[in-house]
Amino acid sequence: MALYDAFISYSHAKDRPIAAALQSVIQRLGKPWYRRRALHVFRDDTSLSATPTLWPSIEQALGHSRFLIVLASPEAAASPWVSKEISWWLDNKSAETMLLAVTEGELAWDNAAGDFVWRAGTPLPPVLTGRFASEPKWVDLRTYREGANARDARFIEAGADFAAAIHGLPKDDLLSQEVRQQKKTLRLVSSAVVLLLFLAGLAGWQAKVAIDNERVAIDQRNIAEQQRQLAQEQRDRAERTLAAATKTANTLVVDLAREFRDRAGMPRDLVRRILDRAHALQRQLAESGETAPELRHSEAIALGDLMDVYLTLGDTKAALEAGQRSRMIMEQLVTADPGNTEWQRDLSFGHTRVGDALAATGRRAEALAEYRQGLIILEKLAAADPDRMQRQRDLSISYMRIGDVLIAAGQREEALAEYRKSLAIREKLVTVSPGNTLWHRELAVNYTKVGDVLLAAGRLDDALAEYRRSLAIRQKLAASDPGNTQWQRDLSLSHDNIGDVLRTAKLWGEALAEFRASFAIAAKLAAADPGNTGWQRDLSISHNRIGDLLLQSDRRQEALAEYHSGLAIVEKLTAADSNNTEWQADLVTTLYRISIVSETAQARTALHRAIATIDALAKIGALTAAQKNWPQLFRELLAKLPPETAGAQ
């Protein structure tokens, strides 16, 4: 019996990321919700444990695989390991069970010769010369070599070619089955919640029966021993049932929370209903008396994940309740076992999560108190184990959160001190681990936050120095992986930050150059994924930034053109989702910009549109504190325009 459905052979030099993404797609397509994966794919990075005899382990894995997937590239063609794996397959299995994908290079078939065209740069190992009776189907993955994303729809469709062949299904049937599985998952989740509610009721009933029987045993001493044994058996059964149900409920909440957090496009009301039912089940089981520390810990972790999703949904009340219960459980666990440092760390995260929920409701003083409680724990853990880098990173994140709350409260100098504490740790972290790109990105964010405070304080030279440090890191990251869109966006933001300082210093030309550099990146990202509304909004804001600077330089017509370009984007966004109040506010500010550089008639039209949008926002209570004066302000602007001339339309 085959242990693996497929074995991926590839060059580690260049194709490790795309191999990992392809493995994820193949294993996931057609997966029922209750299974970890639909297919089992061997890839040495994930499937091979440390062993002194590498080739025998690989040979064993090849022998237990049904298909061989070869990622063809010039590096794979030159790899002795790839050649060795293919040779073994051809000697022991069949070329008919070999699937090809090209990640780089040109692959061509010579019908006359009945073989691939072999020349310098052919991305296949020479061992495949003359081994195919006819041209095999191969999948072109060259587009994804620099940035494969296992959730990208086009990449998933490419991966479906392999998954369909391995399943023995037509590709369209497999993709249709994947859609059906997603719909079925929602139905099964609801059914699972109902089933678990039944199990909870059964467990509670069994526990009650056990307790009643135990009391009878005490009163009726003539049959005490027999009754005691029967009651104990029932109690043990009830506790096992309750423990299993509790563990299942906690796992269900974690899985649902993480699934809905990472999956875009799910109906918000449906997500909320499912999570509420799962949470209610978890609460009911927890209150039934299950006190095993491991189960209580899993409940606290599940509540923390649940809180994150509630914050994403905008339900700060439910988020705060979940966060407070998670923190309470961890406090009880740490009190019972104060030597468990991992539980102490989770307790610090519990304080942080409650702080996040409080900050989201504007209760900054209470949020700050929670953050400081978490910090006290993390400082002790870091001091006890100073060489453990993750402890130091936890500490830097805590300082950063405290700084964020202080900034929101207007305590600029205090926030700067916290940011600098975080910065000192992060500078050491990247020195210890220079290859850790996440830590480098976090260091760039830290430099930016310090720069923001300095800019707000009017210390332009100091702010510019911090922004340039952040820019240098982001330039290196973006250059190392051009397909990483987040790093590209980070780079765009750095150019904006520097442009803001230069504009404040009235260095118009230099500021414009920075804004245009940011715009070039934003335009490229928006063009690559027109459906990404965040990138489209970034592009509209970039148009407005450039327009503002051109207006300051008295280049009014150029500024107006930029504003109209930004307006066209915002109009598309608001047309697609009229309930997004943030985009509606963007529409208002863009129309205002147009009104101040347009002729009277056009200015009047722009202000009328802005006022209509403002009134709609006010009607649903969507104006923020900073926008409360908009209705009066824009009507005053309209009143100041010269009167319409007779006959004007």
**Residue 258: which pLDDT band, with cuts at 50, 70 and 90?**
very low
Residue 449: its pLDDT value, please? Answer: 96
Q: Which of 335, 338, 329, 285 minimizes the C-alpha distance to 307?
A: 329
Collect all residues with Cβ–Cβ distance below 8 Å to 347 and sequence separation of at least 6. 327, 330, 331, 333, 334, 374, 377
d(CA 426, CA 419): 10
d(CA 16, CA 649): 64
Reported CATH class of domain 4-169: alpha beta
Residue 265 Rama label (left phi>0; alpha psi -120 to 50; beta): left
> What are the sequence ranges of the domains in the chain?
4-169
Q: Which long-range contacts (CB under 8 A, 24 or more apart) does 514-520 make?
A: 515/542, 515/545, 515/546, 515/549, 516/546, 517/492, 518/492, 518/493, 518/542, 518/545, 519/543, 519/545, 519/546
Q: Tens of pLDDT along 136-176?
A: 888 999 988 877 776 777 888 888 889 988 888 888 877 77
CB count within 10 Å of CB 517 equals: 18
Residue 266: its pLDDT value, please? Answer: 43
Query: What residue spans of 263-340 are helical by DSSP H?
Result: 268-286, 293-313, 316-336
| pLDDT over 50 (residue 648) | no
In this prediction, residues 430-455 reach a mean pLDDT of 94
d(CA 108, CA 125): 14
Q: Tens of pLDDT along 294-306?
A: 778 877 887 887 7
Q: Lowest-confidence range among 167-176, 264-273, 401-410, 519-528? A: 264-273
| pLDDT over 90 (residue 431) | yes
Q: Two tokens at 386?
A: 């100073």
Q: Tens of pLDDT along 484-542?
A: 999 999 999 999 999 999 999 999 999 999 999 999 999 999 999 888 888 999 999 99
* Residue 617 host element (H or E): helix 600-619
In this prediction, residues 423-443 reach a mean pLDDT of 94
Residue 182: its pLDDT value, please? Answer: 56
150 touches 25 (CB < 8 A): yes
Residue 618: its pLDDT value, please? Answer: 92
- Phi then psi for 565, rounded to 5 degrees? -65, -45
For 494, half-sphere exposure in the C-beta direction (CA atoms, 13 angstrom radius) is 26
Q: pTM of whole model > 0.75?
A: no
Q: Which of 413, 436, 414, 439 minimizes the C-alpha distance to 427?
A: 439
Q: Tens of pLDDT along 592-625?
A: 999 999 999 999 999 999 999 999 999 988 888 8
Residue 308: its pLDDT value, please? Answer: 79
Maximum mean pLDDT: which of 164-178, 182-196, 304-318, 445-459: 445-459
Q: At what angle do helices 485-504 and 460-480 cross, to 10 degrees?
A: 160
CB count within 10 Å of CB 54 equals: 12
d(CA 221, CA 210): 17
Q: Estimate to the nearest angstrom the gap between the alpha carbon of 510 and the chain centroid.
A: 35
Q: Which of 207, 311, 199 minimizes the C-alpha distance to 247?
A: 199
